[in-house]
Amino acid sequence: MSGSRESRARVARRIATAAAYGGGGIGLLGVGVAGLLLTETRLAVRAVGLLDGDPPKADGVYGAAFADPLEIEPPLVLAFLGDSTAAGLGVARGHETPGALLAAGLASVAERRVRLLNVARSGARSADLARQVELTLPHRPTVAVIIIGANDVTRHSSAAQSVRQLGEAVLALRSNGCEVVVGTCPDLGTIKPVRPPLRWVARRLSRQLAAAQTIAVVESGGRTVSLGSLLGPEFAARPEMFAADRYHPSSQGYATAAMAVLPSLCAALDLWPDDAAPDGGRESVLPVAMAAATAAGHSGTEVAAADPGTPDFGRRWALVKHRLRFGLPGAGQQNGTADVPPEQQAQAAG
């Protein structure tokens, strides 16, 4: 296990280094294996099928109970960027999307209204993040959540380029005063229609990319939460966690993933209590690459700079936390859609 983690750390560091220095040619597969993966991917896509329609819209203001009559405190702005998982493809109602769940959760913890802006798009890859950042910045986001990576793996994007593009997006947001939490690449080896040898290749590529993403994000001033193993055994054992296409999460699946992200989202804004001990007291400071490799194999693991106030130290060492996960409040009218446009309220109400 330790050897596997060390190997993953070395590969992640090589990808992250290539990304930092502009290397675009580094790949994770040989030509022969890549050809096999491409063939198997096409078969898997046929088996999975496609979901009809677009993800439900959930943009609006959450936390109506915390409305400030004097408008002294404007709403916090939560931006969501990334792919179909960030957009919420697979559910029918706006309040079931991860953006809505986290907006309602953040509003409850902060006791303050939260405005949700979701610019994520189905099929997006890391290359699309620059455009999404452009759409986000005029709204002056307080905090952003990015979920990206699955399409980079399935479409065989250069790992180094994907990691560099993610790092640039995080840096652009951080340069504008926005905190950033990234849900790293999920474990694509859990998808039921994906069969060996694609399954083990997909799992390996997913975890290697997730680890490299973590290095780039931490070194760009953000923090990550591992979605890999969260969407692994827990999802694999419970079919109801998947939508009809057996690929995207269902409403239960999104709620599980959102519960893992919420503590880190709140901690990024100094809203999570310091005395909320990590799960089992597991917390450690590791070299960034080793921290990234560790997180890639453990559900809900947060990685952030060990000491953000000391840049040199923060780039070399990272704090790994296994936070407690709590239930999310519903994102219905009681918790926050009162300020959402009427047509969206109707959609959220089902």
The residues carrying an active-site annotation are 84, 245, 248
3-class secondary structure, 282: coil
- DSSP H or E stretch at residue 303: strand 301-305
257 to 24, 98, 146, 195, 240: CA distances (angstroms): 31, 8, 13, 24, 14
Q: Is residue 41 a contact partner of residue 154, using CB atoms and an 8 Å limit? A: yes
Alpha helices by DSSP H, listed for the chain, are 2-20, 31-48, 84-87, 98-110, 129-136, 150-154, 159-175, 198-219, 233-236, 251-268, 288-296, 311-316, 342-349
Q: Is residue 301 a contact partner of residue 282, using CB atoms and an 8 Å limit? A: no
Q: Cβ contacts of residue 40 below 8 Å, gap of 6+?
A: 194, 195, 197, 198, 201
Q: CA angle 143-227-172, nearest 5°? A: 35
Token pair for 133? 């950042």
Nearest of 8, 313, 318, 13 to residue 163 by alpha carbon: 13
Amino acid identity, residue 252?
A: Q
Do strands 223-225 and 301-305 pair parallel, antiparallel, or not at all (unpaired)?
antiparallel
Token pair for 86? 């960030």
3-state helix, strand, coil in the chain (%, to 5): 50, 15, 35
